[in-house]
Structure 1
Amino acid sequence: MAYAIRLVLLTVLLVASFAVPAQRVEGERARAVGLYSAEVTVNGQGPGERNGAFARGLLQVLQRITGDRAVNGKPGVGDELRRAREYVDKYDYRQDEGVSASGAPSFKTTLVIQYDADKVGEIISTLGLQQWPTPRPKPVLWLAINDGRGPRLVGLAQNDAARAVLDRAKARGYALGLPAGNAAEQALVGAIWRGDTAAIARASAKYSPPMQLIGKLYRNPKGGWTADWIFQDAGKVLARSSSSDADARRAMAAGADVAADALIRRYAKPAKPLAPPGEFTIAFTGVDSTDDFIRLAAYLERLAVVKRATPVSASPDALVYELELSSGLPGFTRSVVKDGVLEPAGEEGTTTFRLR
């Protein structure tokens, strides 16, 4: 009887340790909501395809929270992406129907993933990544489009015309607003076209916050489309850029990146580390051969939380290192436990680790 109870408890614990499909009411469609969720297109619902999608979704979340589009190149992030399923809270699938270029029906499967915010926060704190604080501002998009019939302002009533840039902003973790588009605002098309930032700032004073993404999209004489962008915050121009593409939607979407990158440069800050950085004397046991020493040294060299590793002494019982740790002993312990190369040789807070 006791064995049966232990078996049931073990089964419950194992089930609880893995992400489970989300529960929905009938008729409700799964969709990503919030900074810690992602949508990834998949080719099937098998575990291999799903685990790959978990990694791609986690990358989306990390890019959104840090604001860094190249965050996957930061030390230690690749290891975390390979463990992405450990950070999944729940997931669900959505079937989307569309029409192909030939006019035939097409179907797409999307995996909608919700990640555990606390666990993702640990990744950021442990690795010392930057963080784009929330709540985030909602700049006003003053966009004029000239498709050959003269420039026109995109207001709230024409929001579908700006869908590409609005959706791209959401993917970057913030939102853009649109002006109402009344007659007085429509008359500002000329100011947009000549880049009169002061005039746009005055017209935008009734909106909050005092940030404007000013863009003009037009046909390029050489072919395709070009968009010129200006982003300003409280009257100060923070960025100017142009984007060109054969597809007007892609040229337009680039404007959201101009604003996001400017906001991140100004407002992102390093995340609070899991623990204060410092130098720690760490003893390693189980180093019984030259191969063991080489394996340990190579592991410490690639570990993102270790900024410097200096051997101090060696004895039959242990090899002692002086380690400079970016997120203290808790960050080091968390990293090595996840990797499975080392294991703590004592209670929480121990400075002795066993090479496995």
Structure 2
Amino acid sequence: MHKLLQQGLVLQLSALLLGAFILPVQARVISDLYEVVEPVSSRGSTDRVAAGSRGLERIFVRVTGDATIGNNPDLQPVLQKAQQFVQGYHYTSEDNQLYLHLSFDPQAVSRQVHQLGLPMWPNNRPGTLVWLAVDTLLHGRSVLREEDTPELFSVLEAMAIERGVPLDFPVMDLNDQRNMPLGALWAQDEQAAERAGLRYSPDATLMGRILQSSGHRWQADWLLVHGGRSYAFDSSGGSMEETALRGVNQMANVLARRYAVRPEGRDAQMGAIIIELTGVDSFADYVEALGYLRGLAQVSSTNLLSVEGDRMRIALAISVGLPNLRDTLALNHKLRADGDTIDLNGYRAPLGSADNPLRYRWD
């Protein structure tokens, strides 16, 4: 079994997969972003301290979105005192292997990220629907299905947990096969992916075509479609599993670059962005909508400007650019974007200004 599974990540899958089958492939708040499982040789303090250091490094990868964060020399002293960040721990055993389950303090980690000037990727993350096809030397081209290659999909799900990205796969029933035939998937047809994804309503779609080029060499082309943009990248490896894992890892890198709040944004004066919400029909809606905006990592402060009927206007002080804010707002499926306005002279006020606020409907 793949090394990732041997390290105990599979023990975290059950609860997440249950949610994955119930929930649509939409943005999710990752509740266990600060929990890891580490294999240990004993229950002794030496092994526990070493596992804590390894586990905290994995947490920093998740919360910053930077897979190479462990190479940052400023982080090394923090990792050496990892026990100060541990909220709780317990042990389990499976197949004669002892595992240490660690839970880290989110606030303490966030403070350290801020002090080190690292990017912070909020835990509300886009759900990605993954379509996979393979071309092998023995069997030719086919669509990859979970029931045919369960170990491949298990390690992909483990990587998704490791990077903190919600990942789901189509059921590949007759409906999926009709809407996303092998030819369209291999061609990475974005229109076919959009049609086939209607039943899943994903935030993002990843299409991968994996090719066996020799007995021990595999390569893959990937296309990530998200928020009106397409990102192409490739990966390679000594096995189909390794090649696919590297593809998912790169997908996480792309999403992190798009959504992580960069430290330089905190020092920049971005000015006030005006957002107008309609459909706020009750006090409960008002509290929920305002609480959501105030809780965004991209928003440093909020100022309620007016409430009129079901319409409210809020000024947001943001620490990111406007595109990043709009990308983040799009992840909340209770917010539906309304069109911008243009007056009869064709003049368009700057987006986010008082004359042309960001307009959303709260559903």
Matched, 1:200 2:193: yes
**Is residue 142–residue 214 contact of structure 1 (8 Å, CA) maintained in 2?**
yes
Aligned-partner SS, 2:139: coil
> Counterpart of 2:78 in structure 1: which amino acid?
E
Give the drift of 1:78. 1.0
> Superposition RMSD on alpha carbons, in Å?
2.7
Matched, 1:141 2:130: yes
Q: Residues 111 and 255 (structure 1 numbering): CA distance in 2 closer, same or farther, change over 3 Å?
A: same
Give the drift of 1:225. 2.8
Matched, 1:152 2:142: yes
> Partners in 2 of 1:31 and 1:210 — Cα distance?
23
Give CA deviations for 1:62-106 in whole Å, capped at 9, x if unaligned. Answer: 100111112123353111101100111111112120xxxxxxxxx
Give the drift of 1:135. 1.2
Aligned-partner SS, 1:76: helix
**Is residue 144–residue 217 contact of structure 1 (8 Å, CA) maintained in 2?**
yes
> Partners in 2 of 1:149 and 1:37 — Cα distance?
40
Q: Residues 216 and 271 (structure 1 numbering): CA distance in 2 closer, same or farther, change over 3 Å?
A: same
Matched, 1:86 2:84: yes
The equivalent of 1:297 in structure 2 is none
**Is residue 43–residue 109 contact of structure 1 (8 Å, CA) maintained in 2?**
yes
> Partners in 2 of 1:123 and 1:214 — Cα distance?
36
> Partners in 1 of 2:81 and 2:232 — Cα distance?
37
> Counterpart of 2:106 in structure 1: which amino acid?
A
Matched, 1:169 2:160: yes
Give CA deviations for 1:107-146 in whole Å, capped at 9, x if unaligned. Answer: 2221110111111111112112101122111110011134
> Partners in 2 of 1:164 and 1:242 — Cα distance?
16
> Counterpart of 2:74 in structure 1: which amino acid?
G
**Is residue 205–residue 225 contact of structure 2 (8 Å, CA) maintained in 1?**
yes
Q: Residues 73 and 42 (structure 1 numbering): CA distance in 2 closer, same or farther, change over 3 Å?
A: same
Query: Which of 65, 68, 71 is the aligned partner of 1:67?
Result: 65
Give the drift of 1:244. 2.4
> Partners in 1 of 2:263 and 2:109 — Cα distance?
12
Give CA deviations for 1:13-61 in whole Å, capped at 9, x if unaligned. Answer: xxxxxxxxxxxxxxxx985971111111122221111111110000001
Matched, 1:232 2:225: yes
Matched, 1:128 2:126: no
Q: Paired residues, what number?
A: 238
> Counterpart of 2:143 in structure 1: which amino acid?
L
> Partners in 1 of 2:135 and 2:172 — Cα distance?
16
Q: Percent identity?
A: 28
Bigger CA radius of gyration: 1
Q: Residues 272 and 125 (structure 1 numbering): CA distance in 2 closer, same or farther, change over 3 Å?
A: farther
Q: Residues 203 and 38 (structure 1 numbering): CA distance in 2 closer, same or farther, change over 3 Å?
A: same
Query: Which of 253, 257, 264 is the aligned partner of 1:261?
Result: 253
**Is residue 132–residue 207 contact of structure 2 (8 Å, CA) maintained in 1?**
yes
**Is residue 145–residue 151 contact of structure 1 (8 Å, CA) maintained in 2?**
yes
Q: Residues 272 and 87 (structure 1 numbering): CA distance in 2 closer, same or farther, change over 3 Å?
A: farther
**Is residue 67–residue 253 contact of structure 2 (8 Å, CA) maintained in 1?**
no
> Partners in 1 of 2:44 and 2:92 — Cα distance?
15
Tell me the TM-score normalised to structure 2 length: 0.59
**Is residue 132–residue 268 contact of structure 1 (8 Å, CA) maintained in 2?**
yes
Stretches of structure 2 that go unaligned for 5 or more consecutive residues are: 1-9, 14-30, 269-363
Aligned-partner SS, 1:269: coil
**Is residue 166–residue 253 contact of structure 1 (8 Å, CA) maintained in 2?**
no
**Is residue 164–residue 252 contact of structure 1 (8 Å, CA) maintained in 2?**
no
**Is residue 121–residue 259 contact of structure 2 (8 Å, CA) maintained in 1?**
yes
Aligned 1:262-301 pairs, distance under 5 A: 262-270=254-262
> Partners in 2 of 1:120 and 1:73 — Cα distance?
17
> Partners in 2 of 1:142 and 1:117 — Cα distance?
33
Give the drift of 1:232. 1.6
Aligned-partner SS, 1:218: strand
Aligned-partner SS, 1:131: coil
> Counterpart of 1:250 in structure 2: which amino acid?
E
Q: Which moved more, 1:231-240 or 1:131-140?
A: 231-240
**Is residue 40–residue 110 contact of structure 1 (8 Å, CA) maintained in 2?**
yes
**Is residue 41–residue 110 contact of structure 1 (8 Å, CA) maintained in 2?**
yes
The equivalent of 1:40 in structure 2 is 38
> Counterpart of 1:175 in structure 2: which amino acid?
P
**Is residue 33–residue 123 contact of structure 2 (8 Å, CA) maintained in 1?**
no
Give CA deviations for 1:252-276 in whole Å, capped at 9, x if unaligned. Answer: 2112112101101111112699x97
**Is residue 146–residue 152 contact of structure 1 (8 Å, CA) maintained in 2?**
yes
Q: Which has the higher contact order (CA 8 A, sep 6+)?
A: 2
> Partners in 2 of 1:163 and 1:214 — Cα distance?
18
4+ runs deviating over 6 angstroms: none
The equivalent of 2:107 in structure 1 is 118
> Counterpart of 1:232 in structure 2: which amino acid?
V
